[in-house]
Amino acid sequence: MQINKLVKALVFALPVLALAACSSTEDTTADSEAERRATQERTQQEEQRGVETGSADRQMTPEEERRERMDELRQENTIHFEFDDSNISSEYAEVLDAHAEYLLNNPNVNVVVEGHTDERGTPEYNIALGERRANAVVNHLQNQGVLSSQLSTVSYGEEKPVVRRSNEEAWAQNRRAVLVY
Amino acid sequence: MKHIRVYTFLVLTTLLTGLGLQSPSAHAALEIVITEGIDSARPVAVVPFEWRGNGEAPYDFTEVIAADLRRSGRFNPIAVDDMPGQPTSDGDVDYSAWARSGVEAILVGHVESQGIGRYRVSYELIDVLRGQITGGGSQSLQNGELVHSQDHIIESRSSVVNDGQFRQYAHRISDVVYEALTGERGAFMTRIAYVIVEPDSDLPYQLVVADYDGHNERTLLRSPQPLMSPSWSPDGSKLAYVSFENRRSEIYIQDIYSTERRQVTSFPAINGNPVFSPDGKRLAMVLSKDGQPDIYVLDLETDRLTRVTEHWRIDTEPSWVPDGSGLVFTSERGGRAQVYHVDVRSRNVRRLTFEGESNLGASVTPDGRHLIMVNRTNGRYHIAKQDFPSGRNFQVLTETQLDESPSLAPNGSMIIYSTKYRNRQVLALVSTDGRFRARIPSREGEVKAPAWSPFI
């Protein structure tokens, strides 16, 4: 049904559009004026003949789909770690790959990787541990080809917790590296 | 541009709230709550000083002195109600009554006016038992002559003080009493630097100094970004610390009186944990500009930077040994974090700690005989002590939670540290012998990174 209507609409609309195109000048305002008039006429005709137009969803190319997913992944900018550990768990590989690709495609963009720890251990040791976490992220990005000039680190250790509580859940949220653009 | 503005604001804040101005910050004033150790302390009496003038006494010296002595963990001043009398000089003391009260020493004194705003404060520290034996005066033969002595009077002093100096002079009397009775210098005229964090504030991070008892709190710096690791110059006039005000760690030195501050380092990556050498000429620190955190020493006169440790794993938390010949530091070179000693000249490194899972944040007591550190055993962090350098007589001193940042009083008698109490970071005290313990709750915010000043 939908397709029938579409075909009918096109049959009537196309000659009008062609006429409008013929009458256009180099002047862009005149051009858009002509378009406007064409649309108006088409609507009028449709109204007179009782038809309505529809459109098909344009299929995204695989490349476009991938890019959209990458943009989504890039919204995720926090990597969490185990206690006293700076290994990047495999669940974050995809997220970091998305950041790497973005940085590769935008060599003028820089990112600061912040390293954070939970409150256990001493503040100075945690500064060192936070740096190790930030460096783990930097190394991962460099392995994907990101330029070292785009990357810098700062470790805040235990000084900037997300959750100011003393339990396992809070600690897990505070042990993190954050990519800040 | 943004950074420059922040910086200007920081400087302004330091100027406005510097020590010279009478603008005590209203928020976090500390208060000391003793939780353990009074039973083992020596009973003494601080008898209220007599005011020999008209109207109200200008100041209650004895309240400050008694609080000082109690907080030292060594003494238990008895309540005024339990005193068998209130003598004001040696002549008034009923020795047999005082001997029965069980105190070993009493402090008596009086205050007189010496013109507008000036007062003469006189006091005597008296050995009660000796006084009872000699009846307040003994006679002995010296070189064939009969000599009258008053050897029961341990100290007798008199000074004129201005009314603005009352509290300071009370601490001075506490120092005299403490040293006379223990043989060790008192640390009541000292300060503590610390960091207050008020997470909901626009400038959440504050570097603060206060008298050791929490009075006269002054903010030296407020910042939107973390402040860490305050460390005193040996003359007590400057603090070195770490600031993240430019979104990276940088080391600064600030004069606590003039508020003048200067940036000392801003290398890539970590610029951390500055510590003045005992002679004040060098600054030990942690830098990771060469790949990983290592210990460096900056000569403050020549600006020459020397790398002291070089290891691919974490080295951090340098602290000078009292003679300045070396540093103790934390390293992961053996797997988990442990404390090591490095000789600054030879760079020889030796491991010092072996107890528990790990040991961190160590410092050597001023007498050079003990190592104080944070020990982790079964996942719990407590302040601990062992002999230096032998490592014998390991002892855990605290029972609080998540203890960190221990800092020694300049006489080595007490350790101030940061701990967690009711989900908030607070300061706490423990005596180096572990018998005396106190909490220092603050009214607001989190309090951390305490640093006890040298003698001032």
Q: pLDDT digit of tens for each residue in chain B (456 aa)?
A: 334 443 434 443 444 444 433 344 445 577 888 888 777 789 999 999 999 999 999 999 999 999 999 989 899 999 999 999 999 998 899 999 999 999 999 999 999 999 999 999 999 999 998 888 887 666 666 677 766 778 889 999 999 999 999 999 999 999 999 999 999 999 999 999 999 999 999 999 999 999 998 899 999 999 999 999 999 999 999 999 999 999 999 999 999 999 899 999 999 999 999 999 999 999 999 999 999 999 999 999 999 999 999 999 999 999 999 999 999 999 999 999 999 999 999 999 999 999 999 999 999 999 999 999 999 999 999 999 999 999 999 999 999 999 999 999 999 999 999 999 988 999 999 999 998 999 888 878 899 999 999 998
Of B228, B405, B420, which has the smallest distance from its Cβ to A166's Cβ? B420
- Contact status of B247 with chain A (Cβ, < 8 Å): yes
B-chain residue closest to A120, CA distance: B402
Residue ranges, CATH 2.120.10.30, chain B: 191-452
Residues A126-140 have a mean pLDDT of 97
Chain A nearest CA to B275, separation (Å) = 12
What is the predicted pLDDT for the residue at A34? Answer: 65
- When scoring A83, A85, A111, A127 by the number of chain B Cβ atoms within 10 A, the one with the most, hence best to mutate, is A127
What is the predicted pLDDT for the residue at A4? Answer: 52
What is the predicted pLDDT for the residue at B7? Answer: 43
Contact flag B249-A154 (C-beta cutoff 8 Å): yes
User: Does the structure's ipTM exceed the value 0.85?
Assistant: yes
Portion of chain A with pLDDT greater than 90, in percent: 56
Q: Are A73 and A98 in contact (CB under 8 A)?
A: yes
Q: How many CB pairs under 8 A join A and B?
A: 84
pLDDT band of A13, cuts 50, 70, 90 = very low
Of B337, B360, B402, which has the smallest distance from its Cβ to A166's Cβ? B402
Q: Chain A partners of B383 at a C-beta cutoff of 8 Å?
A: none
CATH architecture type of domain B33-182: 3-Layer(aba) Sandwich (3.40)
Residue ranges, CATH 3.40.50.10070, chain B: 33-182
What is the predicted pLDDT for the residue at A65? Answer: 80
Q: Chain B partners of A157 at a C-beta cutoff of 8 Å?
A: 228
Task: Name the class of domain A62-180.
Answer: alpha beta
Of B226, B268, B402, which has the smallest distance from its Cβ to A156's Cβ? B226
Q: How far is CA B215 from the centre of its chain?
A: 13
What is the predicted pLDDT for the residue at B33? Answer: 84
Of B268, B272, B381, which has the smallest distance from its Cβ to A127's Cβ? B272
pLDDT band of A48, cuts 50, 70, 90 = low
Mean pLDDT of chain A: 81
Written as one letter, the residue type at B282 is: R
Write down the pTM of the prediction. 0.84
Residues A2-12 have a mean pLDDT of 49
Contact flag A119-B420 (C-beta cutoff 8 Å): yes
Contact flag B330-A160 (C-beta cutoff 8 Å): no
In A3-159, beta strands by DSSP E: 78-80, 111-116, 151-157
Would the pLDDT of A24 be above 80?
Answer: no
| A88 or A18, higher pLDDT | A88
What is the predicted pLDDT for the residue at B266? Answer: 97
What is the predicted pLDDT for the residue at B129? Answer: 87
Contact flag B423-A166 (C-beta cutoff 8 Å): yes
Q: CATH assignment of B191-452? A: 2.120.10.30
